[in-house]
Amino acid sequence: MRFSVIIPAHNSESFISKGLESIRSQSFQNFELIVVCDRCTDRTKEIAESYGAKTLDVDFGRDGLTRNAGLDIAQGEYIIFLDHDDAILHEFVFSEIDKKLKAENDPDLLICSFIWHGVCYAKPRAKNGDFYPSVWNKIWSRKYISNHRFTDVYSISDFYFHNEMMKVPHRAVEWDFPIVFYNYLCEGSISLEMGRTIKGTKAVWGDG
């Protein structure tokens, strides 16, 4: 298995199909799709399974722990993370990723560009020269990730995982090729729901 695509989801029935369709339409099909349903009370699981996804039901209320559940069962050589409100940009993205990985002798990490909805086209590095502390614009070797996992603190799970993994010796390749449409602060997005539900230091998927 070349890729494991992991999507953490919470009550996503109204928008998750866009991302799932972008995965199903890939010309490169050597991957597994894992959708982890965290406290879902709608049709998210049913929809995911209709797209051929393996599904897990969990009760965390934290996107980091939800991703961890996906990592625990992933079998792919490389991990691709996608948020439940985002989408892969084109049907040839997985094929191009596979070609790039092979051309670079399978690095530990492939850092890509992305389309940031309402903001910009984002190259692998921000203007200040740092990598974006996100997990979904990167292709992660499962061996590189090993037993490392996300924190249970909702608002910094991406940031924490990214920064901790940067401390682990690895070989990374930067690639100015956009792979993801990041649906930043759109209705139904993880970022928007997080902003609405943070109270003090406590934040969950949208439980208020």
Residue 34 near residue 7, CB atoms below 8 Å: yes
pTM for the model: 0.89
Q: For the segment 80-103, what is each residue's pLDDT rounded down to a tens digit?
A: 999 999 999 999 999 999 999 999
Helices 157-166 & 63-73, crossing angle to 10 degrees? 50
**150 part of a folded domain:** yes
Q: Which of 58-62, 98-102, 186-190 has the lowest mean pLDDT?
A: 186-190
Number of compact structural domains in the chain: 1
Q: Is residue 205 part of a domain?
A: no
A 10 A CB-CB count for 130 gives 8
57-85: average pLDDT: 97
The phi, psi pair for 86, rounded to 5°, reads -105, 175
Q: Let me know if residue 208 belongs to a domain.
A: no
In a domain, 81, yes or no: yes
CATH of the domain at 119: 3.90.550.10
Residue at 203 is within a domain: no
